[in-house]
């Protein structure tokens, strides 16, 4: 049976402290770097997000299998006696894991079939597969051309170091290639075609690689990483700024709010830390002190009318829902990648906002909120579309609507398993029911 969540908030005051999990984005990158480093790099503060836990388990299994393989070879015994290679990897709905593991397994020796959920089989992977094939990888599609599942055959032999990839589709394709670049015999010269979407995520990847002593150059649209060795080091995963954004949203919809988020600093690798600047427009001040950040709500008129979110698309649902709740008819750009996420997030937003009379109108990649017919229903049922961010972006509406019911409450486990528990700790009424 599916577990739904009933969410209520008796008043519009919020006060308390929240301990956030480690960043899923940072953790996933760190785990792949750790695996590629041959044990030289160690990851601290591994996220408890389901995606990160899954990726860590897959990489650990593959590394342990590799160790067994080496031991068998050293003893000159038949491989089949001691070693059964990892042949099928099901990553479920974990999109980042699909992209990163496609590149990771492309340069491993063992043959792997990489598959996922039904939605994952609808999310394109062709651009990354084409780039890896050009480099020398042997990859076949098992079902539909351009989409998972895929078979990675091992036996990588690099054919070129220069490849081009479109910059406006998904930064995860670029990151996947950059993560393996130092392990390529001839290195990588990556040419980014057109405008780069989600640039902060690429910068995060390069910064984390640099911490592990992997150097790069970035001139104009070309990123170059030579073949080089990882250093012995530790990668500390910061708390998740994407998760923090939901608490900023709650503060913005409250009449009075003082929320302390532990572990966050103003000097973050995460692009979503820009939420501090964005939410300042909604009267939320961010005071960094005592090993975290204090959010304080202040009365302030909202004047900003346009939001370009191409560098922080994971914040889009949060910001759009806040604007809708506050009757702020803003425009939004940079949302192109939202259609190929866990769900078509544009369509999902349009469908759920319509339940309170709000329209999100698209006009040539510019999205306009129309709140002219907005109303506050006594009860709202929120479909989550197997998308963790749909649930968490709409949860703050409990501050303006008497009762919300969320389909599939555990969907938040993908990035923030403690979300409902943290809401309860800070004064929300959370009830789990059988659907």
Which residues are annotated as catalytic?
314
Contact yes or no for 147/124 (Cβ under 8 A): yes
Residue 129 contacts by C-beta under 8 Å, 6 or more apart in sequence?
102, 139, 141, 146, 150
Place of tokens 């306009």: 368
Q: What is the DSSP letter of 153?
A: -
CA distances for 19 relative to 41, 113, 261, 309, angstroms: 26, 37, 6, 26
Q: What are phi and psi of 215, to 5 degrees?
A: -90, 155
DSSP state of 239: B
Q: Which residue is associated with the tokens 């990859």?
A: 139
Burial of 85 by CB count in 10 Å (0-12 exposed, 13-18 middle, 19+ buried)? middle
**Count of CA atoms in the C-beta half-sphere (13 A) of 7:** 32
CA 19 to CA 422: how far, in whole Å?
A: 8
Q: By C-alpha distance, which of 272, 430, 401 is closest to 325?
A: 401
Question: What is d(CA 285, CA 200) in angstroms, rounded to the nearest whole number?
Answer: 23
Distance between alpha carbon 414 and the CA centroid of its chain, in Å? 9
Structure tokens at 292: 């975290």
Contacts of 260 by beta carbon, 8 Å cutoff, 6+ apart? 16, 17, 18, 290, 292, 293, 294, 295
Q: Which pair of tokens denotes residue 103?
A: 């590149």
Quick check: bond before 193 cis, omega within 30?
no
Say whether 432 sits in a helix, a strand or coil: strand
Rounded distance, CA 406 to CA 428, Å? Answer: 14
Q: What is the strand order of the sheet 139-141 is part of?
A: 88-90, 112-115, 150-152, 139-141
Sign of the dihedral through C-alpha 125, 126, 128, 133: positive
CA-based max dimension of the chain: 75
Whether residue 405 contacts residue 4, with contact meaning beta carbons closer than 8 Å, is answered with yes
Say if CB 124 and CB 139 are below 8 A apart.
no
């Amino acid at each position: 049976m599916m577990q739904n969540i009933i969410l209520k908030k008796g008043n519009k005051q919020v006060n308390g402290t929240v301990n956030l999990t480690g960043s899923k984005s940072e953790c996933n990158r760190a785990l792949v770097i750790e695996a590629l480093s041959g044990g030289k790099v160690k990851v601290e503060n591994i996220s408890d997000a389901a995606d990160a836990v899954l990726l860590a388990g897959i990489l650990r299994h593959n590394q342990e299998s590799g160790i067994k393989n080496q031991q068998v070879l050293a003893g000159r015994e038949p491989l089949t006696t001691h070693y059964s290679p990892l042949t099928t990897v099901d990553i479920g709905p974990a999109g980042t894991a699909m992209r990163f593991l496609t590149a990771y397994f492309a340069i491993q020796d063992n043959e792997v079939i990489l598959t996922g959920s039904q939605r994952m089989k609808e999310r394109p992977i062709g651009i990354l597969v084409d780039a890896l094939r050009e480099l020398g990888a042997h990859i076949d599609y098992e079902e539909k051309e351009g989409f998972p599942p895929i078979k990675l055959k091992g036996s990588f032999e690099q054919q070129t170091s220069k490849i081009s990839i479109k910059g406006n589709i998904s930064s995860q394709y670029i990151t996947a290639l950059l993560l393996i670049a130092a392990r390529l015999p001839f290195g990588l010269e990556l040419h980014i075609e057109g405008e780069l979407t989600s640039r902060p995520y690429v910068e995060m990847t390069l910064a984390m690689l640099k911490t592990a002593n992997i150097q790069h150059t970035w001139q104009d649209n070309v990123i170059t990483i030579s073949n080089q060795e990882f250093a012995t080091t530790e990668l500390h995963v910061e708390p998740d700024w994407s998760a923090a954004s939901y608490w900023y949203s709650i503060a913005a919809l409250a009449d009075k709010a003082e929320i302390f988020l532990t572990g966050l600093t103003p000097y973050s690798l995460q692009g979503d830390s820009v939420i501090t600047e964005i939410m300042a427009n909604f009267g939320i001040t961010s005071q960094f002190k005592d090993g975290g950040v204090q959010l304080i709500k202040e009365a302030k008129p909202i004047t900003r009318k346009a939001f370009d979110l191409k560098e922080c698309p994971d914040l889009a649902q949060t910001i759009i829902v806040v604007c809708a709740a506050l009757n702020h008819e803003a425009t939004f750009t940079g949302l192109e990648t939202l259609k190929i996420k866990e769900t078509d997030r544009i369509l999902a937003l349009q469908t759920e906002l319509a339940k309170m009379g709000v329209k999100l109108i698209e006009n040539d990649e510019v999205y306009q909120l129309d709140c002219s017919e907005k109303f506050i229903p006594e009860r709202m049922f929120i479909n989550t579309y197997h998308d963790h961010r749909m649930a968490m972006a709409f949860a703050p509406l409990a501050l303006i609507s008497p009762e919300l019911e969320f389909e599939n409450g555990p969907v938040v486990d993908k990035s923030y398993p403690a979300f409902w528990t943290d809401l309860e700790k800070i004064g929300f009424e959370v009830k789990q029911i059988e659907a």
